[in-house]
């Protein structure tokens, strides 16, 4: 069976390859049912748009799509122009917390 491909077709350009670093991340923060888009994130905080959004306090969870990146407590925030910067103190490792929740007696000695 013969396959006819358009002139100029090359197999390496058949599918666009997008690396994880170049992929548009869908970061958002969940604070007690309030969902806000995260503009930037770093190890000790994140930035959201300040216009038309409430100031967040308390416990928050930061997600990339549906994947939980981390949870923590907001320790401070301040507005810079049309952005609101949040400082976050992260909770412990989520994998350890999940194991302790399943078997608290075994992990009580830590």
Domain CATH number, residue 73: 2.40.10
- Rounded Cα gap, residues 24 and 80, in angstroms: 24
**pTM confidence score:** 0.62
Phi/psi at 12 (5° precision): -75, -15
- Rounded Cα gap, residues 46 and 88, in angstroms: 8
9 lies in a domain?
A: no
16 lies in a domain?
A: no
* Domains in the chain, number: 1
Bridge-based pairing state of the strands 45-49 and 83-90: antiparallel
pLDDT at 50: 87
- Rounded Cα gap, residues 51 and 104, in angstroms: 43
Q: What is the full per-residue pLDDT of the chain (110 aa) written as tens digits? A: 787 777 777 766 555 555 555 455 689 999 988 999 999 888 889 999 988 888 899 999 999 888 888 899 999 999 998 999 999 998 765 555 555 555 555 545 55
**CB contact at 8 A, 56 and 77:** yes
Count Cβ atoms within 10 A of the Cβ of residue 29 and give its class: 0-12 exposed, 13-18 middle, 19 or more buried. Answer: buried
34 lies in a domain?
A: yes
pLDDT at 3: 78
pLDDT at 5: 74
pLDDT at 13: 58
47 lies in a domain?
A: yes
95 lies in a domain?
A: yes
39 lies in a domain?
A: yes
11 three-state secondary structure:
helix
Residue span of the structural domain in which 86 resides: 23-102
- Rounded Cα gap, residues 32 and 56, in angstroms: 9
pLDDT at 7: 76
pLDDT at 107: 47
pLDDT at 91: 77
pLDDT at 103: 55
CA atoms within 13 A on the CB side of 76: 3
């Amino acid at each position: 069976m013969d396959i006819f491909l358009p002139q100029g077709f090359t197999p390496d350009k058949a599918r666009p390859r997008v690396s994880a670093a170049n992929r548009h991340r869908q970061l958002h923060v969940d604070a007690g049912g309030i969902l806000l888009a995260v503009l930037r994130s770093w190890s000790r905080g994140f930035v959201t748009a300040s216009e038309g959004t409430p100031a967040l306090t308390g416990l928050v969870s930061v997600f990339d799509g549906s994947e939980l990146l981390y949870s923590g407590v907001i320790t401070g925030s301040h507005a810079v122009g049309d952005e609101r910067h949040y400082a976050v103190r992260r909770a412990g490792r989520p994998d350890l917390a999940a194991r302790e929740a399943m078997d608290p007696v075994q992990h009580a000695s830590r």
